[in-house]
Amino acid sequence: MCIGILGDFNVNYLKGNENKDFKALFPLYGFTQLMKQATRISKDTSTLIDIILSNNPTTIGKSGVFMNCLSDHEMVGCIRKLHQARFAAKVIMCRNYSKYEPGL
């Protein structure tokens, strides 16, 4: 099962020394922060405050920041992998007894 947490947490993940207690909370419960780029860019600063967390990051195919001009925050998103069950081919050999062939 994959759980995702998305949102504007107003904690800058680009600065590793800020809000260490808050940032240490999610790994305690098995969550990984997926975003690596700044999500709020102004003339003077850039911060990573809109984050995506997943407890199973291997099920996330891609995540990223999508530039828009609608807000002072950029859009964040992720694409989840869909696992399709694939079964190995199984060959079954059998004889056809519907025809009688003398001598066999």
Instruction: Specify whether the CB–CB gap between 63 and 78 falls below 8 A.
Output: yes
The ranges assigned to domains in the chain are 4-80
- DSSP state at residue 25: H
pLDDT of residue 53: 93
Q: What is the pLDDT of residues 12-38, one digit of tens each?
A: 998 888 888 888 999 999 999 999 888
Residue 81: is it exposed, middle or buried by C-beta count within 10 angstroms (0-12/13-18/19+)? Answer: exposed
The model's pLDDT over 29-80, given as tens digits with 9 standing for 90+, comes to: 999 999 988 888 888 988 998 999 999 988 888 898 888 777 778 888 888 8
